[in-house]
Copies of this chain bind each other. A is one copy, B any other.
Amino acid sequence: VSRRYVAFAPDLFATRYAKTAHGAIAYGSDPVVAVIDPALRGRRVRDVLPYLASDAPIVGDLASTRPFAPTALLLGTAPLGGVLPEGWRSTVVEALTSGLDVVSGLHAMLGEDPEFAAAARVGRATISDVRAAPPPRLFTGAAFGVRAVVLLTVGSDAAVGKMTAALELTAAARAAGTDAHFVATGQTGIVIAGRGTAIDRTIADFSTGAVEELVVADGDAELLVVEGQGGIAHPAFAPVTLALLYGSAPDALLLVHRPTRERAEGFATPIPPLRDLVALYEALCATVKPARVIGVALNTGDLDAAAAEGALVAARAATGLPCADLVRGDAAAFYAALRPMLAGKGSPR
């Protein structure tokens, strides 16, 4: 389905809570033609967030998006807990009755809401809950046998740039002629890729099976770059991280880190040193299928150039691994580190 999106992010577009909107603008195959955020109306996306490099206008309400001929409303924020803010209800109903599809990454399933279902019938519109879970299936071990080299991005915390790192590495591999696929495992990634499974929404017993299913489905590629979730040291989200770590049966890991993050998102627990994180991720993999961390990707979006360079030097010294700056640099170093593995695989084990 090719769409023209309006991204709905009232009062939050400039914040990291709007990461679904930002991701769709930066990496989506379908264009975001307008953004709704009354607090920023009259400006353009690039005025607010220059790195997104988009001229899409920011307007105050749904009616004001008509000149841009959208075909779908994208709920562009991911509130903690995934509940629909009550103030959004009227806009969702208005969109559906006027014939706009609604795409949601919330835990709450909008398609199961009677008012939304009725509005969709009126407008002949569809509701796409990208976080809807696939049918339950247990992990079988089939992921151990795929042809593709599998790389998983893992984090020093939640919300540090694991999806961005995966997308950038996929692009670098494709630019070098490798048949690389991005495997989406969260709501923003699914909006960008047009497919995938939100692992955080699966039943815990079947979470590894849901990851395995994604890897097996794309297993004939040369390289699968799997979007990681959460962080192994995050008190709330680590089980989802581990579902990715075991379910994707990776051959290699890429550790993503935000040097300014000192404590786990939402908690007082400190982020462990990079060396400890590398050792912990590798020790977990060793119990099931060994995999090494092949590099550290830094998210330096909130550092100046000198501080970013300092963070790179420190990360190299701490880990002895290839390190690159995702904001000021590129993912070529990680692709280079993967190349010997690509040559060595290529037939099912």
Contact = CB atoms under 8 A, between A and B. Distances in A.
Contact of A235 (B246, B264, B268, B276): B246
Given A204-B240, A240-B204, A242-B239, A280 B269 contact: no
Given A269-B289, A279-B283, 15 more contacts: A107-B203, A139-B235, A200-B204, A200-B205, A202-B204, A207-B239, A208-B235, A209-B236, A233-B288, A236-B246, A239-B242, A239-B246, A276-B283, A280-B283, A280-B287
A138 B80 contact: yes
Interface residues on A, range: 35 or more
Interface in A265-279: 267-269, 272, 276, 279
A204 B238 CA distance: 10
A243 interface: yes
Given A139-B236, A268-B141, A203 B205 contact: no
Contacts of A279: 283
Interface string A79-103: 0111000000000000000000000
A141 B267 contact: yes
A284 interface: yes
Interface of A: 80-82, 107, 136-139, 141, 199-205, 207-209, 232-233, 235-240, 242-243, 246, 264, 267-269, 272, 276, 279-280, 283-284, 286-289
Contacts of A242: 238-239, 242
Interface-centre pick from A137, A207, A236, A288 (highest chain B CB count, 10 A): A236
